[in-house]
Structure 1
Amino acid sequence: MTQCTAPGCTGRIEDGFCGVCGLAPPDVRTPDQDRSAPRPPGPFPPVPRPGAAPPEEWPGRPGSDPGSGDDSGSHPVSGNVRLSGRSGPGNTAGSTGTPLSGSSSGRTSRPTSRGMLGMGLVQVPVVPYRDPSEAVMTDPVVAEKNRYCGHCNEKVGRSRGGQPGRTQGFCRRCGTQFSFVPKLVEGDMVGGQYEVLGCLAHGGLGWIYLARDRNVNDRWVVLKGLLNAGDAEAHKAAAAEREYLSQVEHPNIVKIINFAQHPDPETGIPGGHIVMEYVGGKSLRELLLDRRGEGEEDQALPLAQVIAYGLECLRALGYLHAKNLLYCDFKPDNVIQSEEQIKLIDLGGVRRIDDTASPVYTTPGYRVPEEEIIRSGPSVSSDLYAVGRALAVLSFRFSFRRRHPHSLPPRESVPLLRRYESYDRLLRRSTHNEPERRFHDAADMAEQLTGVLREVLADLDESPHPASSSLFGPESFSAADVGPHDSDTLLEPPSPTRAAALLPAPLIDPGDPAAQLLRGFSSLSPAELVPTLRSAPAPTPETRLMLVRALITEGRKLEATETLHAFNQTMPGDWRTMWYMAVMELGDGEFEDAHAHFDELYSHLPGEIAPKLGLALAAERTGGLETAAGLYRTVWNTDHSYVSAAFGLARIRRAQGQRSRAIEVLDTVPELSSLHVHAQTVLVALLVTGEDPHAADDFLRAGERLGRLGLDSERGDRLAVRVLEGALDWLGRGGRADPSARLLGAPLTEEGVRTDLERRYRALAHWARSPADRYALVDRANSLRPKTLL
C-alpha cells in the first residue's frame, strides 16, 4: 500500500483507491495512464488463473447460479490464440429471466405470442410473460468473484482484511481503471428517448437496464451498456454486437431497435447503449433450476422439452451461419422462453466466420477444448458442439465443468442415456473432440435431432411417430416377398442376401446431373439395370451408387466393390460409401464386419431408422440377440411401416422362449399393412405350437383370429388344420375345456375337433397338386374320423 497524495488526506491507496477519501491518486488518474502503466511480459495478456475452483455441478436450489465459480462466464480468446479470461457471471442479458421481449407498451397483459416450439409434437409448458417492472434489481452489484481487469484479467475489486472489495478503482497489475457500478440510474433519459427504470441483470459484456420508449407508446425496451468502462475488448464486442444485430431478422433471435448514447456520470464521456426488445420470460438455465427446486436436486427438464428447445435454437444458429456469422457463446443462459417462443439473446460474442483477429467469447463447460480454439478458432462445428453440451446439461445432471469439461459420462452411468441410445449417440457426435466427426450443419443436426425426438415420443406416448426420411427410402419388404404358404419363414432370420435386399436404399441426390434419368429406372430389375447403367457415357455419383446396389443384389461383389471405390474417389468421406460397404458385407454373410460398419453409421446418423435396422440384422446373426431386440423395438415403436422390425423382434422373443411377447409384437402390425395377414397367420401358429403347455384360451383365441382373417378356402383350411391338430394333441394330453367352448364353429372336444379335421383335410384334397398328395390327404382325413358303431 502507498500513501494517498490527495491534499489533507492521511489514508493509504488500496486496490487503486484511498481507504479514507475514496479517490485515486492524481498521478494514477491521468488520461494517458493506459499507455504509461506497466504491462505484463509478452505481446498478449496471460491466461487467467481463477482464484476459486469451478463448482462440481450446478447447485440444485432455486435461484442458485449454475455459472458460479471464477470461470463460469464467457471467456474471450483472441485471434492470436489467447484465453483472456473474460469472466461474466453466466447471467447475461436475459439469463435472469427478465430480459428481452417485444412488448409494444408497458401493459402486462398482451396477446399470446405463439411460436413453433415443439413442432406440434411436444407440449412445452408456457412461460408467462413477466411484468417488466417486477424484474428490476433492487441492489445492482457485480459479484466479487466475477470482477476482473478488462485489460490483463487480474482479479480486481476483491475483499481484503474483512473489508468488501471496491466496485471502482485501478488494476494493481497494469493500472487500467475499472468500474462495476451501473452508469444509469432510475429517471435517466438516454438519447432523449429512453427513460431508465433500473437494472435487470449484469453479464460478461455489460449492464442490462429496463427502460420505457417515450417516443413509441411507452413500450418496454432493454438497454445494454458496458459492464466495465475500462475494458477495451468489451467496447469492441459491444460495437460488434451492434453491427451484427442490425443485420439479424429472425423470430428466434432478439431484435435490435436502436443505438443510443448517454454521458458517463463521472467523466461526461458519452457511452453507447444498444436498445433491444424486451423478452419477458425465463432463461433455460432458470427453467432447469426451477425444475430442481420442485423436486429432487438431480432432476432435469423432460427430454422431449429439451429437444424442442434444441431444435428451435438450431434454427436460429442455422440462420446466423447462413449469414456467415458464428454465435460462439451458446449456453442455456442465453436462451429465453417467453410464452411459447424462445429467443437467442446476447449476441456480444458473434463474429464473422472468416474473422481471425477478434476475441472469442466462450463459456467453460460449453466451449470446445482450448487447443482447438487456439489452433483453428471457432467454427460452425464449435457452435453445434455448444448446443450438444447444452442439451446434455439440461437433460441430465453431471459435473460438466470440472469432471467432464469436454466429455460426457459413460452411458451406463446415466439412466436417461441407457434408455435412449440414439440420444446418447447424437450427443456424443455433436460434442466429439475431433471436429471432423461432429455435425457441420445446423440443419443436418436438427434433422437427426428430430428423428431422435420421434423415437423419444414413441416411447413416452406408446404410439408410433413416423416421418419420411430425407436420406433413405422405405424398406424393401412387402407381402410380395412372402409366398402364400411361407408365413412360417418370417420367424426365421432372413438369408444374408434377403437381409441386404430388404434394407432401405439412400435416396437419389436431386442435385445429381442424372437424378431425373435415374428416377425413371425404378421399374427395371437389377439384371436390366446393370447393363443400362454401365452404358452411361459420363457416370455421376448417383449413377455409380445405383450400379453398386444393383450389383450387390445380383451377387456380383467384386464388381460392386470396384464401383464403390470409384464413387469414394469422387465423393471422399460420403457416408454412403460405408452404407453400401455394410450392405455388401451383410449380404455376403460377413456379419461381424457389417455390424461394425452399421454401428458407426448409427453414431453418424442417430436419428435415422435405416442404420438401426441394418445393425439389428447384423447383431441378430452375431449372437447379440438382446441388442438386436432393442434396435428392432426402437424401429418398430417409432414407425410401423418397417414391418421387418416387428418380425425381427417377434422371432427373437420366440427364440428367447418368450412366446407371449412375440405374440404381442405381431398383434401390433396394423390392418392396413400388406403384411397384416401374414403377421396374424404367424401369430395363430404361435398360439397353438411351442413347448409351453397351452390353455384352452390359446386355441380359442387362435380360432377367433383365424375367423377374422377372411382367408381364401385353401389358405384358411391349411391354417385351420394347424390349429385343430394342436388342439387334438392338447386334448390327447389331458387338456379339458369348458363344455360350451367352440373352436372354429365346432365343440372343443376330441370328437368335435376330429370331425372338423376330417372335413378340412377332405377340402384340402380338392386343392392337391398331384394324385399322391390327394391320396395322402384323404388317408389323413380317414385316420382322424371319430370312431362310430356304424
Structure 2
Amino acid sequence: MNSTDPGTSGPPVPEQARFCARCDGPVGRGRSGRPGPERGTCPWCGAAYDVRPDLAAGAELVGRADRYRVEAPLVRGARGWSYTARCGSDGALVVLGRLEGPDGPAAGALAVEETEVLLALDVPGLVHARDVVHADGRDGAVRLLVLDHVPGEVLSASRPCPPAEALDAVLGAVPPLAALHRHGLLHADLNPSNLLRGPGGITVLDLGSVRRLGDRESDVWATTGFVAPEIHPGGPGPSVASEVFALGRTLAVLLADFDHVRNHALRLPDPAGVPVLRDDPDLVALLARATDPDPARRHPGVEAFAGEARRVRTRYPASDTGIYTARPGDSGVGVGVLVGAHPDNGPTRRGGGRSAGAAGDPRDARGAPIP
C-alpha cells in the first residue's frame, strides 16, 4: 500500500451522520461551538469509533482480474467507506465497496459463495461486480467488492419528487431485484441512496449487504427507516417480504419528506396530512400493503408489488424527465426511466427544492407542508 497516512484526506462526515456501528447511538457531536471528534469512544456503549477514511489515496490493490489504484473516498456507509479507484489495465473508473463491517468478517461479511455468484451475474439495472480485492485497513485486513462506476444521481438527492417519477423509480428497481431473488440472493439494503437514475434508467447500487435467501446467521447491515420490523435479534431475518417492505418505504420517502428515520421508522405518515397521499387512496393502499407490519399481508414478491404499482402509475401523466418504458427482456415487469428524450442527456434533478417554508420543513412532492 501507499505510505500516505489513511484518514488524513477525504470529505468529512457531517456530525449529524455520525453514529456508532455497534449501538447506533450518535457519536462525534460537537458541543459549545466546538467541532466533534472524528474518532473516540461511543458514550453509549463504549465501542471505539473512527469516521475517517481507512484507505489512503494512491494505495495499490491487487485483485484476481486487475490491479486498482485508490483515488479518493466516496461515501461512508454502515460498513465503512467506499472509494473511487482506477483499473490498472485500462484506467476505467470503478468503485470499491467494503464487504465487512467495522467489527470484521463476522459482522455481515458477504460469504465467498455469494461473492462468486455476484461476480458471475450480468443483470440489466444491477451494478456490475467485477472483482474482489483485499487491503490493509486502519484496523486490519478488509475485503472490498470492485463495482462498475455508474454515472447519474442517487434518488436520495432529489426527494421529494412527483408521483410519476417516484413510481417509475421503484418500478425500475424491480427487475434487478427479481433477478437477485431468482438466483437465491437478497439485496438487503434497498433505499433511495442505493438507487441511481442515469441515462440508461434506474440502477440498483451497493451489493455489500447481499445475502443468501434463508440466511439466519449473518449480521444484518441495512439503513434505518427501511428495515422491516421482523428483522431483529431472534427474528426471521431478511426475506423477499422484507425487500417488498423496503420497496414500499423507498416509494413513500420519495413521495414525501417526513421523518422516516425516527418518528416514522416503521409506519407511514398520516395520509390526511400529506396531500399527495390524501388525494390518491390507491397509492396509500399500495404503500400500506407493502409496508404492513405482518410480512404475510404484504405483496408476495417484488413483481406482485410492481403489478399493483403499474396500475397506480397509469393515473399520472408521463414524467417530463423521462420515458415510461420497460427494459428489454423484462417481460413487462417493471419500468425504466430514460432521462430526457435524447440518450445523451444527463441526469436531471426534479422536485428536490424546498423554496417555500423554513429550511427542513417536511413537505410532500407538491411542496405542501406536512403537519
TM over 0.5: yes
CA drift at 1:173: 8.1
1:326 aligns with 2:186: yes
CA drift at 1:203: 1.1
Match of 1:66 in 2: none
Match of 1:263 in 2: 136
Distance 1:220 1:437 in 2: 43
Residues 180 and 235 (structure 1), Cα distance of their counterparts in 2 relative to 1, 3 Å cut: farther
Distance 2:268 2:45 in 1: 39
Gap runs ≥5 in structure 2:
1-7, 325-371
Match of 1:454 in 2: 314
Letter of the aligned partner of 1:197 in structure 2? E
Gap runs ≥5 in structure 1:
1-136, 289-299, 466-790
Distance 2:205 2:175 in 1: 14
User: In the TM superposition, what are the counterparts of 1:384-533 in structure 2 within 5 Å?
Assistant: 384-457=244-317
Secondary structure of the 2:11 match is coil
1:209 aligns with 2:72: no
Match of 1:186 in 2: 57
Residues 237 and 227 (structure 1), Cα distance of their counterparts in 2 relative to 1, 3 Å cut: closer
8 Å contact from structure 1 (residues 240, 351) kept in 2? no
Secondary structure of the 2:83 match is strand
> For 1:652-695, what per-residue CA distance to the aligned partner results, in whole angstroms no more than 9, with x for missing partners?
xxxxxxxxxxxxxxxxxxxxxxxxxxxxxxxxxxxxxxxxxxxx
8 Å contact from structure 2 (residues 78, 223) kept in 1? no
8 Å contact from structure 2 (residues 107, 218) kept in 1? no
CA drift at 1:417: 2.6
1:197 aligns with 2:76: no
Secondary structure of the 1:443 match is helix
> For 1:378-420, what per-residue CA distance to the aligned partner results, in whole angstroms no more than 9, with x for missing partners?
2212211111111111123334334433333344333223433
Distance 2:120 2:52 in 1: 31
8 Å contact from structure 1 (residues 150, 231) kept in 2? no
Q: TM-score, normalised by structure 2?
A: 0.71
Secondary structure of the 2:208 match is helix
Residues 399 and 195 (structure 1), Cα distance of their counterparts in 2 relative to 1, 3 Å cut: closer
Residues 455 and 195 (structure 1), Cα distance of their counterparts in 2 relative to 1, 3 Å cut: same
Letter of the aligned partner of 1:141 in structure 2? P
Match of 2:173 in 1: 313
In terms of mean alpha carbon deviation, does 432-441 or 410-419 score higher? 410-419
Secondary structure of the 2:289 match is helix
Identity of aligned residues (%): 32
Higher share of residues assigned helix: 1
Distance 2:60 2:223 in 1: 34
Letter of the aligned partner of 1:318 in structure 2? A
User: In the TM superposition, what are the counterparts of 1:272-287 in structure 2 within 5 Å?
Assistant: 272-287=143-158
Letter of the aligned partner of 2:72 in structure 1? G
CA drift at 1:243: 4.7
Distance 1:155 1:409 in 2: 24
1:357 aligns with 2:228: no
1:142 aligns with 2:16: no
Secondary structure of the 1:207 match is strand
CA drift at 1:194: 1.3
Distance 1:370 1:214 in 2: 44
Secondary structure of the 2:82 match is strand
8 Å contact from structure 2 (residues 27, 42) kept in 1? yes
Residues 438 and 175 (structure 1), Cα distance of their counterparts in 2 relative to 1, 3 Å cut: closer
Residues 238 and 155 (structure 1), Cα distance of their counterparts in 2 relative to 1, 3 Å cut: farther
8 Å contact from structure 2 (residues 42, 49) kept in 1? yes
Match of 2:97 in 1: 224
Distance 2:104 2:37 in 1: 17
Distance 2:313 2:270 in 1: 21
Distance 2:179 2:151 in 1: 23
Match of 2:122 in 1: 249
Q: TM-score, normalised by structure 1?
A: 0.36
Secondary structure of the 2:315 match is helix
Distance 1:407 1:170 in 2: 32
Larger relative contact order (Cα-Cα within 8 Å, sequence gap ≥ 6): 2
8 Å contact from structure 1 (residues 179, 229) kept in 2? no
Letter of the aligned partner of 1:444 in structure 2? A
Larger Rg: 1
